[in-house]
Structure 1
Amino acid sequence: MSCRQRMRSEFRLQSFGLTHNNRHVFTRTPWLSNQLPFVLYRVAVCLYQVIAFSTILGALVDLPQLTLALIFLTTWGYILLTLHTIVSAALCFADYNNSRSLYGASDDNRLSSDVVMETGSTIQLTTRGIETAQTSVGQDSTQTLPLPWYYKLCWVLYNLAFCGGIGITILFWSLLRNDLSALSILMHAVNSVTIVIDVMVSGLPCRLLHFVYPSTFGFVYILFTVVYWAAGGRGLYDYPFIYPYIDYGGNPALAAIVAVLGVLVAVPLCHCIVFALVVARESLVRLLHRRNSSNSHSHTIAAM
């Protein structure tokens, strides 16, 4: 599928929805046939994220300080990222366990990734014995089926956590940078490293029009800041704002501009970054698949 065709397929009304023809893209990696290493990776990332979040809460053990931390966008984003890793690990483990039950424990090395993806479509490779079948099903074909609610939850969390995490990192290092402690680096830098690695090694899909989900999340947070300020809430060091750039009492014009640009411009741009990473991964996977197919074909001809 050409780049023009891919972009055309992205801007269709049904691309707002949460339907996909292959649920395995959410639980398997396109880089490996044996999915066990990917399952272990998912479990390891989940454990890391839970331990890191527990460490953060431990550092804020004082109740008033912990309550205050919950007003910041960084905390919201880190909670979403932690939830995503938990749900993803659970789905990945369940899918692997079901595959073992279906094919038998002796067929672990034959579990197909099923997620060697063309941009805008999914190529499924399934191997049983000496037979290999390859089918291509477009995202918008009549075979597209609704996902179970827990896969939809995983997809929404993925959109919220990844777009939000990258946005938090960019905003912090470009506007704030007022705290360079290890805890701050963990929440404002390592989080995006985790996100980029996850995008590149997983098979998670991304649709451009799904920016509506993180944009909705951004609007909800802005609404929360307005309500919190109107209710007389205080920020860090007892300031009458959460962030200096959204000081509704001291500089309402700047706060309004930042709020509008954040929801309508910054969030979609961050979602485009995630989309670009996914397209890059799909291109690399497709290139690797073609190279492997070419080598296999050459070996077959040489053997004849």
Structure 2
Amino acid sequence: MYSDYSTYDSCRVEVCLCNMATAVTYEFQCKHFGFTDVTPKHFYESQWTERKEYFVVYRAIMFLYCLIWAIYDTNFCVSSYSGYYITHLSSWGEWTLVVHFGLALAVSMFGLIQDSDFCFKNNLERTICCGNGNTCQINDIKWFHNLCWVVMTAASGVSYIVTISYWCFSDNRMYSIAVNTHQHIMNSVLMTMDHLLSRVPTRYLHFVYVSLYGAVYTLFTVILHLIGIRPMKYSGTLDWTKSPEISIVVSLGLVTVGACVIHFITFTIFKLRDLTHYRLRTSQTKSALFSDTSSHSNKDINANERSRILQ
């Protein structure tokens, strides 16, 4: 097909660059600030299996794990750092995880129950799901799907911010190794695992929801300052009394540049997941085609052999 390998390689490079340009153009469409190009199935199934009951079990385990640890951590931190637990971003992140997995569990259970109650197959063997009043809603995205998507994005962002900022910039270490590990390591591990297992896509322009989360927390620290409460952990960075200039720079940096950089981690994990799934699916398809071709070839050989014997 090609006169030499250099021509072939140059064509491959051109195709790759074209695909990259198309992907970038797609991601930066204004519609992706919102919630488009998804179906409810993205919230009901794993990327790796269509068995929704397995996904519900996974969501339930994650929710119970995070809830139990959040209650334990809250009890420990309140007793050890009286009056300051609610001021820490790590505490916000921990309960955001609980909200995320609880909401994700409820949505996945809704998908499972909806299928069992309102789904049927038409004459073309296509599964149709209908709600009350016989109004089919197989591809309709509801408000709770959007809410689940936003909370998942915010939970990822705050988890990575907490982990990176704690281990890179904080000198204060908790007395409990278990609490410290769960609040500042397992939070990112759990969200990374969730992005790898779920089917919910990540839109890069959704970094605005990470920024919004950071803006809300920044406003909260300003309110704390106005009522006379200073978070001990952030006395050198978010101290509106002693160093308001530094606090402004840190807050603006996290809400703008920091949110974009942190969300890029989530976006990269999503792309790696999709690429891996695509490669595996392509490999399985090629294997199936090869097996089918081999089977037909063997049948032709056997038919030719029988003809030769009969002759």
Once the two structures are TM-superposed, the CA of residue 78 in structure 1 deviates from its matched residue by 1.3
Shift of 1:243: 3.8
After superposition, what is the alpha-carbon deviation per residue over 1:237-289, rounded to whole angstroms, capped at 9, x for unaligned? xxxx8442112222222222111111111111111100000000000000111
More helix by share: 2
Higher relative strand content: 1
Is 2:43–2:200's contact at 8 Å kept on the other side of the alignment? Answer: yes
Please give the alpha-carbon distance, in whole angstroms, between the structure 2 residues aligned to 1:177 and 1:271. 25
CA contact (8 A) 2:46 2:198 kept: yes
Question: How far did residue 27 of structure 1 move?
Answer: 1.9
Matched, 1:161 2:177: no
Partner Cα separation in structure 1 for residue 220 and residue 269 of structure 2: 31
Question: 2:45·2:51 contact (CA, 8 Å) conserved in 1?
Answer: no
For structure 1, the 5+ residue unaligned runs are: 105-126, 134-144
Query: CA separation in 2, counterparts of 1:225 and 1:61?
Result: 18
Cα separation, 2, equivalents of 1:21 and 1:41: 21
Q: Larger Rg: 1 or 2?
A: 2
Deviation at 1:177, TM superposition (A): 4.2
Q: Is residue 128 of structure 2 the alignment partner of residue 83 of structure 1?
A: no
Partners of 2:81 and 2:156 in 1: CA distance: 29
Q: Distance in 1 between matches of 2:226 and 2:77?
A: 26
Aligned residues: 266
Structure 2, unaligned runs of 5 or more: 1-17, 128-138, 297-311
Partner of 1:99: 115
Counterparts of 2:292 and 2:235, CA distance in 1: 64
The two structures have a TM-score, normalised by structure 2, of 0.78
1:290 aligns with 2:282: yes
Alignment of 1:278 with 2:270, yes or no, is yes
Tell me by how many angstroms 1:39 deviates. 2.1
Look up the SS of the partner of 2:230 in the other structure: coil
Measured after TM superposition, the shift of residue 100 of structure 1 is: 3.6
- CA contact 1:20–1:147 (8 Å) conserved in 2: no
Residue 64 of structure 1, CA deviation: 8.1
Q: Which amino acid aligns with 1:209?
A: L
1:36 shift after superposition = 2.9
- 1:7, CA displacement in angstroms? 1.1
**Aligned AA (1:235):** P
The percentage of aligned residue pairs carrying the same residue is 25
Match of 2:207 in 1: 211
SS in 2 for 1:31: coil
Q: Is the 8 A contact 1:19 1:146 kept in 2?
A: no
Find the counterpart in structure 2 of residue 59 from structure 1.
76
Aligned counterpart in structure 2 of residue 221 of structure 1, from 217, 223, 226: 217
Pair 1:38-2:30 in alignment: no
Match of 1:251 in 2: 243
2:74–2:85 Cα contact (<8 Å) kept: no
CA distance in 1, matches of 2:265, 2:237: 24
Residues 281, 243 of structure 1: alpha-carbon distance in 2 compared, 3 angstrom cutoff: farther
Structure 1's 61 and 77: CA in aligned 2 closer, same or farther, altered over 3 A? closer
**Aligned partner of residue 2 in structure 1, secondary structure:** helix
Q: Which residue of 2 aligns with 1:201?
A: 197
**Following superposition, which runs of at least 4 residues in structure 1 exceed 6 angstroms of deviation?**
130-133
Structure with more relative contact order (C-alpha pairs < 8 Å, separation 6 or more): 1
**One-letter code aligned to 2:280:** L
Question: TM-score, normalised to structure 1's length?
Answer: 0.80
